[in-house]
Amino acid sequence: MSGTAAARFPDIRSALDPLVRLSARLGHDPLLVQASSGNTSIKLDGVLWIKASGKWMADADRQEMFVPVPLAEARERLARHTDLAADSTRAADHATRPAAQTMSASIETFMHAVVPHRVVVHVHSVNAIAWAVRQDAEAELAERLSGLRWQWIPYVPSGRPLASEMEKVASRRADTDVFVLGNHGLVICGPDCNAVEVLLGEVERRLAIVPRRAPVARKALLEQLACISPWRIPQTDALHALGTDATSRRILRGGVLYPCQAIFLGHPAPMIPCSIPVSDVRDGIGGQYAHRPFLIVEGSGVMLSQKITRAEIAVLSGLVEVVQRIGPSAPVRHLTHNEVAGVVSGDGVRYRTSAENNESANGASRECFQSSRWNGEELSR
Ligand SMILES: [Zn+2]
Q: What is the pLDDT of residue 345?
A: 86
DSSP state of 178: E
Centre of ligand 1 from the C-alpha of residue 375, in Å: 21
Centre of ligand 1 from the C-alpha of residue 186, in Å: 8
Centre of ligand 1 from the C-alpha of residue 122, in Å: 7
Cis before residue 268, ω within 30 degrees of 0? yes
Q: What is the pTM for the complete model shown? A: 0.87
Centre of ligand 1 from the C-alpha of residue 258, in Å: 9
Q: Which residues of the chain have pLDDT under 50?
A: 1-6, 87-100, 286, 362-381
Centre of ligand 1 from the C-alpha of residue 278, in Å: 40
From the list 24, 257, 13, the residue with the least C-alpha distance to 121 is: 24
Q: What is the pLDDT of residue 367?
A: 40
Centre of ligand 1 from the C-alpha of residue 162, in Å: 10
Q: What is the pLDDT of residue 362?
A: 47
From the list 247, 218, 255, the residue with the least C-alpha distance to 323 is: 247
Q: Is 271 exposed, middle or buried (0-12, 13-18, 19+ CB in 10 A)?
A: middle
Centre of ligand 1 from the C-alpha of residue 256, in Å: 15
DSSP, residue by residue, 344-372: HSTHHHHHHHHHHHT----SS-TTS--S-
Centre of ligand 1 from the C-alpha of residue 184, in Å: 6
> Residue 72: how many CB atoms within 10 A of its CB?
11
Centre of ligand 1 from the C-alpha of residue 137, in Å: 18
Q: Is 316 exposed, middle or buried (0-12, 13-18, 19+ CB in 10 A)?
A: buried
Centre of ligand 1 from the C-alpha of residue 185, in Å: 6
Centre of ligand 1 from the C-alpha of residue 124, in Å: 6
Spatial CB neighbours of 275, under 8 Å, sequence gap ≥ 6? none
Supply φ then ψ for residue 260, to 5 degrees.
-60, -30
DSSP state of 40: E
